[in-house]
Amino acid sequence: MTDIEVRTASADDFEAMRDLFAAAMMFDASPDELSRQIFEPERALVAVDGDQIVGTTKALTRDLSLPGAVVPAAHVTGVGVRATHRRRGILSQLMTRQLREVPEPIAVLWASEPGIYGRFGYGAAAWAVNFEADLHRVGPPAVRTRPGELGEISVDDALMTLPALLRAVQDQRAGVSGRSELRWQQHLQDKPDDRNGRTARHILVHRDETGTVDGYALWRGKMNWGPAGPVNEVLVEELVAPEFSAYKVLWQHLLTMDLSAKLGYGYGAVDEPIMQLVTTPTALDRRVSESLWLRVTDVPGALRQRRYAVPIDLVLEVTDDLIESNNGRFQLTGDDALVSCERTDSPADLSLSVGELGAAYLGGRKLAEFATTGRVTEHTPGAINRATAAFTWPLAPVSLEVF
């Protein structure tokens, strides 16, 4: 490792970093001016071997919804190591430095492989439910819509209308990442080269009685003909509707698309209300996988910035192999409105590592789940039950996009 140096990136590294990451993930990078504008070199690290970049990682400045709050969280992405330089500890060097340097108390990422990030103290904090719905069997109940209730809008109109709805959903569920104006522009780009045989993107909106847009879906179609006729596919990229009335109409519309046999959606929550909307939930054909991985980089800072479902007053003993200042005992006192978290010498009620803390942090996984395997240890009887009740949040977290 003596020949490998890790340094902060500069604006000039943009192309080399983009090409390295694309090669690592096995796709061809295409020029994209918005990506360049969004690039934050001061928050990116590169590993260099001589004058060649051989490893990259980036931390994006974005906010994230938590139980009871929306806060800045380092969104880690662009992690790649040149194939010729794998398994020499470059990723470990990049991750360690990045986690020690990010100013936010938490970092989040989507992992290409679940085996990679646990060793760096990340915990899988949210699940993504992938639906492959059989539209001939699923049976959404009929919904009568009013004229003008559903429509399609342009990208320009979407840029004005949709951000407020995403922000409203952040107040309902943890795990939802915010988007700046530039990021919205990038999200709504629709380059023909990226469509892979699917149609252009439809921006479907629902309007309430006053004509105000209160929900939207981004979707594409794909034409398919089977031996017995049309078996088109409906591919839903995003559906955001803080009002249930809008949510119901949008899903009903998509689940009953003519000529279609299948609907795919990859960003469902484990308690996604769509399961209550259909007569045959098994025909939604659900597959669950890890979505957002979360790393606590500052234990008291992180514990202070979320809220707790029921009052909690416990001492947590935390261990962290990478960030020394996270080790120790912390008195956590709080509820759904006020929180304090301070270092203490008092004896611990329960002990755990930052990995379990990260997994439970968004309220979707239970500390009790980790107690069954000895990863959380109870020292005071009842502490696990009380901590589990306080950390868990009523609705499951969900991450609505791979970043």
Ligand X SMILES: CC(C)(COP(=O)(O)OP(=O)(O)OC[C@H]1O[C@@H](n2cnc3c(N)ncnc32)[C@H](O)[C@@H]1OP(=O)(O)O)[C@@H](O)C(=O)NCCC(=O)NCCS
Q: What are the two backbone dihedrals, phi and then psi, of residue 367, each rounded to the nearest 5 degrees?
A: -60, -35
Looking at the DSSP assignment, which residues form a beta bridge with residue 139? none
Q: Looking at beta carbons only, is 47 or 246 nearer to ligand X?
A: 47
Q: Of the two residues 214 and 290, which places its CB atom closer to ligand X in the complex?
A: 290
Q: Which residue is associated with the tokens 């955001």?
A: 240
In whole angstroms, the minimum distance from the beta carbon of 303 to ligand X comes to 26
Phi-psi region of 113 (alpha: psi -120 to 50; beta: other; left: phi over 0): beta
> How many other β-carbons are positioned within 10 Å of the β-carbon of residue 177?
21
Whichever of 15 and 171 has its CB closer to ligand X, that residue is 15
Min dist. Cβ of residue 132 to ligand X (A)? 23
Binding mask 64-93 for ligand X (x = CB under 6 A): ---------------xxx----xxxxxxx-
Which segments of 125-231 are extended strands (E)?
A: 127-134, 150-152, 202-207, 213-222, 225-226, 229-230
Q: Does 277 help bind ligand X (rule: CB under 6 A)?
A: no
Strands 350-353, 339-343: parallel, antiparallel or unpaired by DSSP? unpaired
Question: CA-CA distances (angstroms) from residue 47 to 89, 137, 237, 334?
Answer: 11, 52, 34, 42
Containing 157, the helix (H) or strand (E) segment is helix 155-170
Q: Is 116 in the site for ligand X (CB under 6 A)?
A: yes
Task: For the CB of residue 291, give the shortest distance to ligand X in the complex, in Å.
Answer: 12
Report the C-alpha gap between 78 and 395 in whole angstroms. Answer: 30
Say which DSSP state 119 is in.
Answer: G
Which of 87, 191 has the CB closer to ligand X?
A: 87
Number of residues that bind ligand X (CB under 6 A): 18
Nearer to ligand X, 79 or 341 (CB): 79
Min dist CB 24 to ligand X, Å, is 4
Q: How far apart are CA 331 and CA 167, in angstroms?
A: 32
108 touching ligand X, by CB under 6 A: no
Helix (H, G, I), strand (E, B) or coil at 100: helix
CB of 23 to ligand X, least distance (A): 9
CB of 14 to ligand X, least distance (A): 18
Among 115, 227, 374, 381, binds ligand X (CB under 6 A): 115
Site string for ligand X, 16-55 (x = CB under 6 A): --------xx------------------------------
CA distances from 226 to 214, 229, 233 (A): 37, 5, 12
Footprint of ligand X on this chain (CB under 6 A)?
Answer: 24-25, 79-81, 86-92, 111-113, 115-116, 119
